[in-house]
Amino acid sequence: MAGRIAALASRLDQLYEFDREPVSLEKLQSGGKFAGLFAGEHVAATEFVIGAFFVLHGVTAKDLVLGLLLGNLLAVLSWTFLCAPIAVRTRLTLYWYLRKIAGPGLTVIYNIANAILYCVLAGAMIAVSATAVGIAFKVKTPSLSAVFPSSWGWVLITFALGAAFTALAILGFEKLSRFAQVCSPWIFVVFIAGALAMLPKLGVHANFDNFWEVATTKVWNGIAAAGQDKFSFWHILFFAWFCNLAMHVGLSDLALFRYAKKWTYGLYSAFGMYPGHMLAWICSGIMVAAVGREMNPGLMAFEAAGFAGVAGVLFAGWTTANPTLYRAGLALQVITPNWPRWKITLAAGTLTTIISCFPIVFMKLLDYVAIYGLVLMPIGAIVFAEHWILPLLGIEQYRAEKHNWTINWRALAVWFGTLLICFFLPIHLYFRWLPGYLIALVAYVFLQGLKKNKP
Amino acid sequence: MQRILFEVLAIISLVLCLVFPILRFLGKIEADRFKSGFLFASIAWFIFATLWATRTKKSSKT
């Protein structure tokens, strides 16, 4: 078993060989690049669903605004104080840093978990795009509580889109990435245009004098749709905070911030959180209220901005599913020996396409986002403890690397143990990651301090 | 020179994408006119922004 894990780990090392060395000083990037990257990356197809769900969950306008302001601030601070300082000190990706801490075997398990999570996320993006295509073919979007596909039409559209996205990802990932760069400012404009155009339908006057009244009575009026939990300020705050949990607290954005000149570059994430997430979620909330609170991103965008709106949903899904498919393929390469890139992308795309036809992936998107962050969060806690807390307590660092361990079993126990505890915590899913993070930190430091030099 | 021209045209197209919904919000144009105007401005954005991006790429190579 250990030999097999070591062989897998060795294959994985070869894949990531190009970024094994810390980033050199001449490759560091300016702050403007980080601002642009964050602004472009955080307006995706899923934003059409997230903002609309806040309305369906009956949040009030005041709770929404305060929750988003503070939650996004906490996300920015997490990037700035947790992720960026470790990145600029090590200049390594999470893959290589985790390898030093937890051993190559654990990085294999982490990669497989990541690949599966990426496939589900890309599946949700395909499903969102399918709602746009469904309008043209008059295919009914599944209901809010739907788990399984509701019609053959839905299955056919998701399969056709999944196949198209996968084929395009195989044919030219780089070209599509450039197309995504062209798309991103326009997709942002689609959100603003859609919301602005829908305001008169909701009764907002041209001088905005009754905007707040309409917002509190017709959009975020505090009434949850049938079968949806009622959201409070805390739900919104935590959602905005954990929406990219795997990236900031989970430290996968070490890959990005290793190119930062200073740790304060973490503050540039505000360009993704405020003009990106916050504004896009508010806009999609306005759009869903104007279409009678029907959860159908394609219909929302069509009613708001016509065919350009439909194209916005489709392109937003396509351009964000593409890098997600690519990352899933890269992560899956560990268990697919000697497969060429196209074959791996095809495998990831097939899995993603099958997932996408189950409407639960986008009808329960908010819960999935919470689970995605929760699953990877303990790894962030382990790396944070190893980097900052162990040296403070005089406990030896990087023992997996120094003693050539395949797996740091303590790290693995902390990861899975934390998830088990989180599963049984008697609080809402959105709040579980925070006590989980503290449990993982304390447990890892305790176990690492117990006995020396044994994995 | 061509790059600057495409850049300007791309930015104008994107600004137009914002002007149409503002006019719709102010009640100056009907919904159908807004939707077709927004569609044409969007198409213009994709054409000019792509040309701008490809020219930028070529000039950075040389």
Residues of chain B with Cβ-Cβ distance to A305 below 8 Å are 21, 35, 38
Residues 6+ apart with CB under 8 A from A172: none
Q: CATH fold of A32-366, please?
A: Amino acid/polyamine transporter I (1.20.1740)
Per-residue pLDDT, averaged over A53-74, amounts to 97
- The confidence band for A33, taking pLDDT boundaries of 50, 70 and 90, is confident
For residue range A236-290, list pLDDT tens digits in order. 999 999 999 999 999 999 988 999 999 999 999 999 999 889 999 999 999 999 9
How close, in Å, is residue A273 to chain B by CA atoms?
Answer: 21
Q: Tell me if B21 and A197 make a contact (CB, 8 A cut-off).
A: yes
Under 8 Å CB pairs connecting chains A and B tally to 58
How close, in Å, is residue A260 to chain B by CA atoms?
Answer: 23
Q: Tell me if A197 and B24 make a contact (CB, 8 A cut-off).
A: yes
How far apart CA A446 and CA A449 sit, in angstroms, is: 5
Q: Tell me if A306 and B18 make a contact (CB, 8 A cut-off).
A: no
Q: Which of A174-178, A231-235, B58-62 reaches the highest mean pLDDT? A: A231-235
Q: Tell me if B20 and A308 make a contact (CB, 8 A cut-off).
A: no
Q: Who wins on pLDDT, A175 or A165?
A: A165
Q: Quick one: pLDDT at residue B53?
A: 86
Please list the helix, strand and coil fractions of chain B in percent, rounded to the nearest 5, in that order: 90, 0, 10
For residue range A101-129, list pLDDT tens digits in order. 999 999 989 988 988 998 999 999 999 99
AA identity, residue A70: L
Q: Please give the ipTM for the structure prediction.
A: 0.93
Q: Quick one: pLDDT at residue A328?
A: 81
For residue range A388-435, list pLDDT tens digits in order. 999 999 999 999 999 999 999 999 999 999 999 999 999 999 999 999
How far apart CA A346 and CA A236 sit, in angstroms, is: 37
How far apart CA A392 and CA A386 sit, in angstroms, is: 10
Is residue A268 within 8 Å of residue A36, measured between CB atoms?
no
Q: Quick one: pLDDT at residue A6?
A: 66
Q: Where are the domains of chain A?
A: 32-366
Q: Tell me if A186 and B22 make a contact (CB, 8 A cut-off).
A: no
Is residue A51 within 8 Å of residue A282, measured between CB atoms?
yes
Per-residue pLDDT, averaged over A433-452, amounts to 93
Q: Quick one: pLDDT at residue A199?
A: 96
Residues of chain B with Cβ-Cβ distance to A199 below 8 Å are 25
Q: Tell me if A192 and B18 make a contact (CB, 8 A cut-off).
A: yes
Q: Quick one: pLDDT at residue A340?
A: 81
Is the pLDDT score of A179 beyond 60?
yes
Nearest residue in B to A206, CA atom: B26
Q: What is the average pLDDT score of chain A?
A: 90
Give first-to-last CA distance, chain A, whole Å. Answer: 16
Is the pLDDT score of B61 beyond 50?
no
Is residue A260 within 8 Å of residue A26, measured between CB atoms?
no
Is the pLDDT score of A452 beyond 60?
no
For residue range A226-248, list pLDDT tens digits in order. 889 999 999 999 999 999 999 99
How close, in Å, is residue A201 to chain B by CA atoms?
Answer: 9
Residues of chain A with Cβ-Cβ distance to B46 below 8 Å are 182, 186
Q: Tell me if B25 and A178 make a contact (CB, 8 A cut-off).
A: no
Is the pLDDT score of A292 beyond 90?
yes
What DSSP line would sit under A244-283, residue for residue? Answer: TTTTTTT-TTHHHHTTBSSGGGGGGGHHHIIIIIIHHHHH
Q: Who wins on pLDDT, A294 or A18?
A: A294
Which of B12, B14, B24, B25 to mutate to test binding with chain A, by most A CBs within 10 Å of its CB? B25
Is the pLDDT score of A324 beyond 60?
yes
Is the pLDDT score of A206 beyond 70?
yes
Tell me how many degrees the CA angle B18-B24-B30 measures, rounded to the nearest 5.
135
Q: Tell me if A181 and B53 make a contact (CB, 8 A cut-off).
A: yes
Is the pLDDT score of A42 beyond 90?
no
Query: In percent, how much of chain A has pLDDT > 90?
Result: 66
How far apart CA B51 and CA A419 sit, in angstroms, is: 49
Q: Quick one: pLDDT at residue A319?
A: 83
How far apart CA A203 and CA A354 sit, in angstroms, is: 42
Q: What is the pTM of this model?
A: 0.91
Q: Which of A126-135, A279-288, A312-321 reaches the highest mean pLDDT? A: A279-288
Q: Tell me if B18 and A193 make a contact (CB, 8 A cut-off).
A: yes
Q: Which residues of A77-114 are buried (b: 16+ CB within 10 A; e: fewer)?
A: bbbbebbbbbbbebbbbbbbbbbbbbbbbbbbbbbeeb
Give first-to-last CA distance, chain B, whole Å. Answer: 15
How far apart CA A308 and CA B11 sit, in angstroms, is: 18
Residues of chain A with Cβ-Cβ distance to B35 below 8 Å are 305-308
Is the pLDDT score of A8 beyond 70?
no
- How many Cβ atoms from other residues are within 10 Å of residue A124's Cβ? 31
Residues 6+ apart with CB under 8 A from A84: A257, A260, A263, A264, A265, A266
Is the pLDDT score of A14 beyond 80?
no
The CA distances from residue A6 to A2, A332, A416, in Å, are 6, 16, 21
What DSSP line would sit under A341-377, residue for residue? Answer: HHHHHHHHHHHHHHHHTSTHHHHTHHHHHHHHHHHHH
Q: Quick one: pLDDT at residue B59?
A: 57
How far apart CA B9 and CA A62 sit, in angstroms, is: 40
Is residue A265 within 8 Å of residue A34, measured between CB atoms?
yes
